Amino acid sequence: MRKLFVVLLIAMVTMTLAPLATAQDEGLRIGLVIHSDPTRPFWTVVHNGARAAAERYGVSITFQGSRDALEQAKFVEDLVASQVDGIAVTLANPDAMRDSITLALEAGIPVVSFNSGSNDFLSAGAMMHFGQTEVIAGEGAGHRFSAMGVSKVLCVNHQSYNIGLDERCQGLENTFSGEVERIDVTATGSEDLIGTQSTLQTKLLSDPSIEAILTLNPTIAIAARDAINLERPGEVILGTFDLSSEVLDAIEAGEMSFAIDQQPYLQGYYSVSALVLAVENANTLGGGLPVLTGPGFVDAGNAAAVREGAARGTR
């Protein structure tokens, strides 16, 4: 018992001290807070972009997040209390973040937003936004599906609490010539992929009129690919938002038609860079409009070129 205690104690002290060994000794301190779990693949790329900018500018960053809106707001307030030099937040739920951002502004800390919130960033108090305009990106997907001549697309929403995802389906509806049906898989989402896949399998079986699927993240895309391969292989066209190595594999193997790339690396990179420039040189970017990091399209034509970056965790 006593030995066990000592082992755990050593583990804890090591964990406490290890990250500090690599911490920057000087330079600005910038916090990034997201509306999701930072260890998800997509956010790792954003984090890598933020890290790269932090290294280049010689500043320290911390990257926190939670699916719980209250937790996200609290992370921002934690950063305000510790007097960081700049804060970047995602605005999946702008109302919930408004008070915390106001506190940051009152404390003289500049705030930018990234990823979600291209419509709300100014009213929420953020001075710049780095992301893609979700409606425009969704419209891009609609054009593609129309050009392929399909008549019904299933839009798979895995985070229905995230305004941005609704807007993607909205954009698809705006430009797609046929019928769009939305399906909500928030209950299983990326956390329970087997559950999400089985929901999609059931949907494909029960509705033969579905000719294409649009997923809104690369993890769900793989679940959709597997569902298609099991139930109606080769019959359903698949497109997705965002990239992963597996998505690139699927595109090269012809199992997936395209991926809409919002270039998450740039969102992390430019959030940190813009905050450094705002603090040190009073610069702003975008002129009150969101700075678009997407949509870019990845398909069989350019998948190989993007692959190298995906393997590095930068695409």
Partner 1 sequence: MAQMTTNTKDERLVRVGLLRRIFQVPEMGAVVGLIGVVIIFMLSPARENLFLKVPIPAIGRVLDNSADIGVMAVAISMLMIAGEFDLSIGFMTGSTGMIVGILSAVYGWPLAISMPLALIFALSVGFFNGIMRIRTGLPSFVITLGTMFVLRSANFAVTRSVTGNIRVPYIDRVPGYDLMNAIFSYRLSIGGAQFYITLIWWFAFTAFFTWFMLRTRWGSWIFASGGEPAAAKSVGVPVERVKVALFMFVHACAWISGMAVIFRLRSATASQGEFLQFTVLVAAVTGGNRMTGGYGSVIGASLGALIFGLTKTGIVAAFWDSDWFFAFLGVMLLLAIVLNLILRTQAEYIGTTAMGEEETDEEWLEKTPVLQGQDDGKGNPEND
End-to-end CA distance of the chain: 47
Give the residue from 89, 92, 39 showing the smallest Cα distance to 313: 39
Please state the closest distance from residue 112 (CB atom) to partner 1, in A: 18
Of the ranges 3-11, 109-117, 171-179, 204-212, which one interacts with partner 1 (CB under 8 A)? 3-11
CB of 41 to partner 1, least distance (A): 13
Could you tell me if 199 and 190 are in contact, meaning their C-beta atoms sit under 8 angstroms apart?
A: no
How far apart are the C-alpha atoms of 146 and 179, rounded to whole Å? 10
Distances (CA, A) of 159 to 43, 135, 195: 15, 16, 14
Among 1, 233, 234, 287, binds partner 1 (CB under 8 A): 1
Say whether residue 276 binds partner 1 (CB under 8 A).
no
Residue closer to partner 1, measured from CB, 121 or 258: 121
Query: Could you say which residues in the range 86-105 bind partner 1, by CB under 8 A?
Result: 93, 95-96, 98-99, 103
> Do 118 and 267 touch, CB atoms closer than 8 A?
no
Q: Which is nearer to partner 1, 108 or 254 (CB)?
A: 108
What is the footprint of partner 1 within residues 105-134 (CB under 8 A)? 107
Report the distance separating Cα 222 and Cα 228, nearest Å: 10
- Residue ranges in 44-83 that form contacts with partner 1 under rule CB under 8 A: 60-65, 67-70, 73-75, 77-83
In the chain, what are the helix, strand and coil shares in percent, each to the nearest 5? Answer: 50, 15, 30
Residue written as token pair 């008070």? 99
Nearest to 220 by CA among 184, 252, 254: 184
| List of residues 6+ apart from 276 with CB closer than 8 A | 28, 30, 53, 57, 59, 86
Q: Which is nearer to partner 1, 37 or 308 (CB)?
A: 37
Per CB under 8 A, the segment of 158-166, 243-251, 278-286, 295-303 that binds partner 1 is 158-166
Q: In angstroms, what is the minimal distance from the CB of 149 to partner 1?
A: 30
Positions in 163-202 near partner 1 (CB under 8 A): 163, 166, 184, 186-187
Report the interface residues with partner 1, using CB under 8 A: 1-2, 4-5, 8-9, 11-13, 15-17, 19-20, 23-26, 29, 31, 38-39, 60-65, 67-70, 73-75, 77-83, 93, 95-96, 98-99, 103, 107, 160-161, 163, 166, 184, 186-187
